[in-house]
Chains A and B, each alone.
Chain A
Amino acid sequence: MIDKKTLLASLLGASVVLPLPALAQDSSSDSDPVTLRMAYDADPVSLDIHEQLSGGILQLSHLTHDPLVRWTKDVKFEPRLATDWERIDDTTMRFTLRDGVTFHTGNDFTAKDVVWTINRLKRSADFKAIFDPIASATAIDEHTVEIKTHKPYPLVLNLATYIFPMDSEYYSGETEDGDPKDEIVKNGDSFASRNSSGTGPYEVVSRQQGVKIVFERFDNYWDKDSPGNVDRLVLTPIGENATRVSALLSGDVDFIAPVPPNDLERVRADKNVELTTMSGTRIILMQLNQKRVEAFEDPRVRKAFNYAVNQQAIADRLMKGFATPAAQLSPKGYDGYNDSLEPRYDVEKAKELMKEAGYEDGFSVSMMAPNNRYVNDAKIAQAVATMLSRINVDVDLKTLPKAQYWGEFDDRAADIMMIGWHADTEDSANLFQYLTECPDPETGAGQYNAANYCNPELDEKVAQANVETDRAKRAEMLQAVEQALYDDAAFMPLHWQDLAWAAKKNVKLEPVVNVMNFPYLGDLVVEQ
C-alpha cells in the first residue's frame, strides 16, 4: 500500500487538487468495487502516448486519454472529445469540442490542449509521418479548433482518432533536473514517460514495467452515460501464450488478448469462458522480388504463383478459421475494398501460365518469413512453399525471429518475403504507399515494398486520391487501384488475420471490441 500512495502522489506531482477523496462518494456507490484483471502479451513501453506508435501504446491511450473521435465496430466515426466537425474548405476542418471535460489533474480541457497535442504529435518520431499532411492547428475559441492541411486531405478524421489531447498545463515547464516536461525521449527517461494526465476513464495508480500496471477509474470522467462499471484494472503482461491461456482458464485473470489460434478450441470449449472474435484488418502477404528474380518481372509468373496458393485452405486448416482469405490489400470496410475480387486458386491454370511464360520446369527461389511476428507465420510460409512445389518451384525457406527478420527484410535478403501490414490510418492509401508504390528512399514511398514492383501510373492515382475530399469519388479511385494490382498480380495476398479476445462469462466484451484490436475498456460492463 505504501508504494501505491507515494506513486500516486508523485504521479499527480505538483497539482493541488487531488481527485482521490471523491472516490468514496461517487461511481460505484451501491456495490463493491469491480476489479478487472487482464493479461496482454506485452505491456506499454512507456506512459508517454507519443513515444511509440504501437498497439500497446494505443491501448493505453484509450484508457488514460480520449481521442477526438474513435472508430466504431463497422469502421465509422464516433464523437468523443469532439462533438461535431465540419469541413470549411478543401484544406480546413473545424472541430467543436466537448464542454465540461476535465483532466485527471483537475485542469479544464480546452482547445489549447488540442493544439498543443497536435504540435507534439508532429514532433514525435513515430507519429510525425502520419501527421505530416497537417499544416497547423489553431484554437478559434475555448471549444473550437481548426485543423489546416497542406493540401486537400480526405483523412483528417482518420488522423483525429490518433489525437488524444494531453493536459498541456501539466506537461509544461521543466522538471527538477531542468529537462522540459514535454520532451519525447525514445531511449531514456523523460517526465512524460513516467507521468500522465489525460481525460480518459482511467488513471494509472501504480506501474512496474514488465510486471503490472494498475489503473483506477477517474471519478470526474466526463462520459457519465458510459455503461462502464470497472473501478480497477490490473494489466499483467504474459508473453508466453500457454501461460496466458492457463491464467484465464484457471481464473487468475478475467480477460486475455490475444488468444493464440492453437488454443481457440480449448478456450471455446471451456464453459466459464467466452471467446469473442472478429475479422481484423491486418493483411498478410508475400512479396515477389523482381529485382532479384528475373522471372518475377513476368506478370504471368506472378499470376501463376497466385493461382498455385490455396488461401482458403490456409485460412481453414492452418489458421483454424481464424483468418479471412484475401485477394487484395484493403479489408472490408475500407474505402478501397473492391468486392469483385476473389482469391484465385487453380493449380492447372497456374501450370499453364508457367508453361506460357517458359518456366514449365520451374526454378528455385529463396523465401524468408518471421516465426514469432504474425499468427502462425512460419507455418504459413511452409504451406506456401509446399503449394509452390506443385508448379515445380523449389523454395528454400528460412524462418527467423522477428528481431532478426526485419534486418533481413530491410536488406531484401530473399526472393520472396512475408510481411503483414495494418494501415495506421485505417485507409487503403496507406497500404499502397508502403507496400506497392515504387520504392523511393527520398520520400519514403514503398518503404516495405520488397517486391520492387513499380507502376508509376498507379502511384499517380493514389496521389490523386489523397487530395480528393469527396469520399465516394475517392473510394472509386482506390478500388480501381486494387483492381489494377490484382490484374497485375503485384503480390501474393494470403489473408486478413482475425482478432480474438477471451474473457470470463460475466465480462461483456462483445459491445466494446472493434477492428483496432483495443477494446474500449472504459465502456466495459462486468456483471456482478
Chain B
Amino acid sequence: MIAFLIKRLMHAFVVMFVISVISFAIQSNLGDPIQQMVGQSVPESQRAELREELGLNDSFLVQYGRFATNALQGDFGYSYFFNEPTTEVIQRHLPATLELVIAATLIIVVFSVPIGVYCAIRPRSALSRFFMSVSIIGISIPVFLTAIMLIQLFAIGVDFSPFPAETGWGQWLNGLLSTEGGMPSYGRGNDLTHLFGTWDSNFFSLDGLTYLVLPAVSLASIMLPLFIRLIRAEMLEVLQSEYVKFATAKGISLKRIYFVHALKNTMLPVITVGGVQLGTMVAYTILTETVFQWPGMGLMFLEAIQRSDIPLIVTYLMIVGLIFVVTNTLVDLIYGLVNPTVKLTGKPA
C-alpha cells in the first residue's frame, strides 16, 4: 500500500514535470501577453521595457529554470490579468467547477444505475429501446449544443403552435410543446452559502440550485448515456454468467440476484471507467462553463488562453494533471477495496 502510494507520488511528479515543460514550450505560440496588457497607442520602446521586466526575453531554459525553482517552493507566478498569484486565482475558481462536477455526477449516478439495470433486465421492453435510442442521441450531440438548446428551451422559452390555438385540445398540445423559460442562463446566482475559505456553495439555497440545474444537466448529457450503456452491457454479461444461473437454479429470489449478486460485479468496471471519466469531466467543464458563463476553472482557462496569460495557463494545466493522477490513484484504491483479489503493487497474489 505504502509502496503503491509512493510510486504514484513519483508518477505525479513525472506527469507534472512533463506537463509544465510542454505548456512552457508552447507558450510562444499562445501570443504576446504584452499586446493584451497595453493600449493600442503604446510605443514599441515601452512594450520592450515591459517585456524585459516580465523576463519574456530570456531563453526558454532560463525562463523554465526560474519557473521550476519557484514552483518547487510553491510559487507558480502571477497571473498577468488578475494581478494575483495564479494559485490564488485557481483556488477561487476551483469550488465552482467542483460543485458543477459534483452536481453532474449526482445526476449521472442517480439516473444511470436504475436505467442501466432496467435495460439489462428487460432488454426487449419498449422502455428499454426508448432509453437506448435516446442515449445514442445524447452521446452524439456535443455539449455546447445541448447547452444552447437547454438555454433556448428553459431560459428563453419556445413558443410552438402547430395546432389550432382556438380549440381546447390544440391549446393543450401547443402548451405541451412550448416551454416557459425563466431558468437562469448564466452565472452561479446571487444567493450562495459561504462554507469556508474561497468556497461558496450552490447546494444550500433554492436560488443556488436553480442556477446549477441547466449547467449540470448539460455537463451530464454526454456521460449519462455512456454510463447507462456501460452498466447495461456489463449487467447483461454478468446475467449470462454461471453463478447467476446457479443462483437462479438454487431458487434465490430474482430481486436478490439482480441487486446483490449481479449488480456488485457489474459495478467493478464501472468504477474504473467512472474514475477516469471524472477527470475528463473536469476538462469538459470548459465548454459548459463557457456557454453558461459559470465562473469556474474551465472558463478561467479559456479566457486565460485568449489573454495569453501564460503563468495561469501553465498552473491550470499542472493542476488538471494532478487531478487526473489523484483520481486514478483513488480509483485504484477503491478497486482494491471492492475486489480484494486485485493487488495494488501488481505482484501475483
Contacts and interface: CB of A to CB of B under 8 A. Distances in A.
B35 A403 contact: yes
A406 interface: yes
Contacts of B155: 246, 250, 252
A525 B225 CA distance: 49
A336 B46 CA distance: 30
A516 to B, nearest CB: 15
B132 interface: no
A193 B81 CA distance: 12
Interface in B19-75: 29-32, 35-46, 50, 53-54
A406 B32 contact: yes
Interface string B192-220: 00100000000000000000000000000
A401 B35 CA distance: 13
Given A45-B81, A406-B32, A434 B41 contact: yes
Given A53-B41, A210-B82, A407-B31, A243 B184 contact: no
B315 to A, nearest CB: 16
A236 interface: yes
A187 B44 CA distance: 18
A52 interface: yes
B276 interface: no
B38 A403 contact: no
Interface in B170-195: 181-187, 194
A441 B44 contact: yes
Interface stretch (A7-15, A122-130, A146-154, A453-461): A122-130
Nearest to A42: B303
Interface string A199-216: 000000000111110000
B36 A46 contact: no
Interface in B108-154: 148, 151-152
Contact of A403 (B32, B187, B300): B32
B32 A125 contact: no
Contacts of B40: 53, 421, 424, 434, 448
Given A186-B50, A246-B151, A129 B42 contact: yes
Given A236-B187, A239-B290, A247-B185, A193 B83 contact: yes
B84 interface: yes
From A39, A406, A430, name the one whose CB has the most chain B CB atoms within 10 angstroms.
A406
A249 interface: yes
Contact of B41 (A130, A208, A250): A130
B291 interface: yes
B78 A246 contact: no
B293 A239 contact: yes
Contact of A447 (B43, B187, B295): B43
B293 A250 contact: no
A431 B84 CA distance: 36
A250 B187 CA distance: 13
Contacts of B45: 444
Contact of A247 (B43, B84, B186, B194): B186
Given A239-B290, A239-B293, A187 B156 contact: no
Nearest to A270: B156
Interface in A218-240: 236-240
Nearest to A57: B39
Contact of A252 (B42, B152, B184, B307): B184
Interface residues of B, number: 51
B44 A403 contact: no
A484 interface: no
Given A125-B46, A246-B185, A52 B37 contact: yes
Contacts of B37: 52, 186-187
B291 A404 contact: no
B316 interface: no
Contacts of B152: 246
A187 B78 contact: yes
Contacts of A403: 30-32, 35-36, 305-308
Nearest to A190: B83
Contacts of A444: 43-45
B83 A250 contact: no
A210 B54 CA distance: 23
A243 B37 CA distance: 26
A188 interface: yes
Interface in B279-303: 290-293, 295, 299-300, 303
Contacts of B148: 242, 246
A252 B185 contact: yes
Contacts of A407: 31-32, 35
A45 B83 CA distance: 9
A54 interface: yes
A46 B83 contact: yes
A250 B32 contact: no
A189 interface: yes
A247 B32 CA distance: 32
A189 B78 CA distance: 10
A250 B211 CA distance: 13
B80 interface: yes
Nearest to A129: B41
21 contacts: A2-B194, A125-B46, A128-B46, A236-B187, A237-B293, A239-B299, A240-B291, A242-B148, A242-B151, A242-B291, A243-B292, A246-B155, A246-B156, A247-B293, A250-B184, A251-B182, A401-B306, A403-B308, A404-B30, A441-B44, A444-B43
Q: Which 8 pairs between the two chains have the least Cβ-Cβ distance?
A: A403-B31, A53-B39, A250-B155, A444-B43, A126-B39, A406-B35, A404-B31, A211-B295
Given A125-B50, A252-B185, 9 more contacts: A125-B38, A188-B83, A239-B293, A250-B155, A251-B182, A252-B186, A402-B35, A403-B306, A444-B45
Interface of B: 29-32, 35-46, 50, 53-54, 78, 80-84, 148, 151-152, 155-157, 181-187, 194, 290-293, 295, 299-300, 303, 305-308
Interface of A: 2, 39, 45-46, 52-54, 125-130, 185-189, 193, 208-212, 236-240, 242-243, 246-247, 249-252, 372, 401-407, 410, 421, 424, 430, 434, 441, 444, 447-448
